[in-house]
Amino acid sequence: MRVIDLKKPVAITAWSCVGGKKEKEGPLAAGFDMLSSDDYFGQQSWEKAETAMQKYSLRSLIEKRKLNARDIDIALGGDLCNQITSTGFAYRDYMIPFGGMYGACSTMSLTMATAACLVSGGVVNNAVVGASSHFCTAERQFRTPLDYGGKRTPTAQWTVTGAANVFLEREGKGPFITKVCFGRIVDLGITDANNMGAAMAPAAVATLTEYFIHSGKRPREYDAVYTGDLGLVGSRLLKQMMEKEGFPLENHIDCGMVIFDNEKQNVPAGASGCGCSGCVLAADILPRMAAGHLKKILFMATGALLSTTTTMQKESIPSVAHLVEIVADKEDL
């Protein structure tokens, strides 16, 4: 694991996100481009709904930045569905070169980190990246059919129904991606598929620790260190483990703990899903950076790389965390 210091910072020139009913009732609702009370988004299946969300988000991004789809050099994206079909099906309607990525709930920072490297290295002028998740597609794929009415464990997080996109360019007024750090896969033997936070926390610690050691930065230099969706249990673990590593996190915010009002919306363990970190980034973090309320942050989504097959084969849960440093102004570099 190495810290990649982007010689040319990459401008984030537009962002967008779309959410469902529960997100509409949550505290970040005002930051969404579109919110639907119908989680089907007018479609006939949840999978088609997730594709529709991605398309609404992408269209919103394209309109905001006044783009022609033909001017987009590359798109990198992914989701949680088998064979990332929500994303693949969204892009079949666009003439945009597309590379699929899979990092489970780390997808937003994985695609951002990869695209930032492509743009900074000068091989493309711009890139759109994105991620989505849908509560209903995830529940029936990874857990049980919704109609089954299975009881949720106290550590189970609620998958966000949301899609987010970010547009990266060589030139622009920012915020800027300045450093990236691709994580390695960490597996400490956690096997409880209803406790993803605990499985992902060690991967988050591995990436953060390497980042701080190799960049020479310290947590307190950042206005906030955002993680993706560790939730209540994983966030506590992260803080304990980072304290032991000698990098106590006083300014840690988990996207999974802010997208819903956990108590009122009855999600005690918090939220999860690729759409969780993506939507918090686009609905809350980037707007606050653009408004000058946040100067410098770390954004690190985490992913649990399991499948139902590996769970049935009694495998433990390998996880990964990818990190990007984002600064509001070039003066803060």
Separation of first and last alpha carbons in the chain: 22
Q: Which of 95, 261, 264, 330 binds a second copy (CB under 8 A)?
A: 95
Q: Which of 35, 52, 164, 181 binds a second copy (CB under 8 A)?
A: 181
Q: At which residue do the structure tokens 């529940």 appear? A: 139
Give whichever of 34 and 188 is closer to a second copy, judged by the CB atom: 188
Residue 209 in the binding site for a second copy (CB under 8 A): no
Residue 6: strand, helix, or coil: strand
Q: At which residue do the structure tokens 């304990």 appear? A: 240
The residues in 27-46 that bind a second copy, with binding defined as CB under 8 A, are 44-45
Residue 144 in the binding site for a second copy (CB under 8 A): no
Output DSSP code: residue 284: I
Q: Which of 38, 63, 121, 330 binds a second copy (CB under 8 A)?
A: 121
**Sign of the alpha-carbon dihedral angle for 38, 61, 100, 275:** negative
The residues in 226-265 that bind a second copy, with binding defined as CB under 8 A, are none
Contacts of 229 (CB under 8 A, 6+ apart): 105, 157, 160, 196, 197, 200, 254, 255, 256, 270, 271, 272, 273, 276, 277, 301, 302
Contacts of 18 (CB under 8 A, 6+ apart): 32, 33, 34, 35, 36, 53, 56, 57, 60, 162, 163, 164
Angstrom distance (rounded) from CA 242 to CA 265? 29
Q: For residue 135, what is the enclosing H or E element?
A: helix 135-142
Give whichever of 1 and 34 is closer to a second copy, judged by the CB atom: 1
Residue 175 in the binding site for a second copy (CB under 8 A): no
Residue 7 in the binding site for a second copy (CB under 8 A): yes
Q: Which of 21, 24, 48, 64 binds a second copy (CB under 8 A)?
A: 48
Q: Which of 21, 25, 67, 102 binds a second copy (CB under 8 A)?
A: 102
* Interface segment toward a second copy; rule CB under 8 A; list 20-28, 161-169, 184-192, 270-278: 184-192
Contacts of 222 (CB under 8 A, 6+ apart): 251, 296, 297, 298
Residue 99 in the binding site for a second copy (CB under 8 A): yes
Q: Which of 209, 215, 265, 307 binds a second copy (CB under 8 A)?
A: 307
What's the min distance (Å) between Cβ of 175 and a second copy?
Answer: 19
Angstrom distance (rounded) from CA 106 to CA 288? 22
Q: How many residues does the chain have?
A: 333
Q: Which two tokens stand for residue 288?
A: 């606050």
Residue 68 in the binding site for a second copy (CB under 8 A): no
Residue 215 in the binding site for a second copy (CB under 8 A): no
Q: Which of 29, 38, 63, 83 binds a second copy (CB under 8 A)?
A: 83
What's the min distance (Å) between Cβ of 20 and a second copy?
Answer: 19
Residue 162 in the binding site for a second copy (CB under 8 A): no
Residue 120 in the binding site for a second copy (CB under 8 A): yes
Residue 305 in the binding site for a second copy (CB under 8 A): yes
> Is 283 in contact with 166 (CB distance < 8 Å)?
no
The count of other CB atoms within 10 Å of the CB of residue 223 is: 18
What's the farthest any 2 CA atoms get from each other in the chain?
55
Residue 182 in the binding site for a second copy (CB under 8 A): yes
Site string (313-332) toward a second copy, x via CB under 8 A: x-x--x-x-x----------
Angle at the Cα of 282 from the Cα atoms of 301 and 87, rounded to 5 degrees: 70
Q: Which of 123, 153, 266, 333 binds a second copy (CB under 8 A)?
A: 123
Which stretches of the chain bind a second copy, using CB under 8 A? 1-2, 4, 6-7, 44-45, 47-48, 73-74, 78, 80-85, 88-89, 91-92, 94-104, 110, 113-114, 117-118, 120-124, 141, 181-187, 305-310, 313, 315, 318, 320, 322
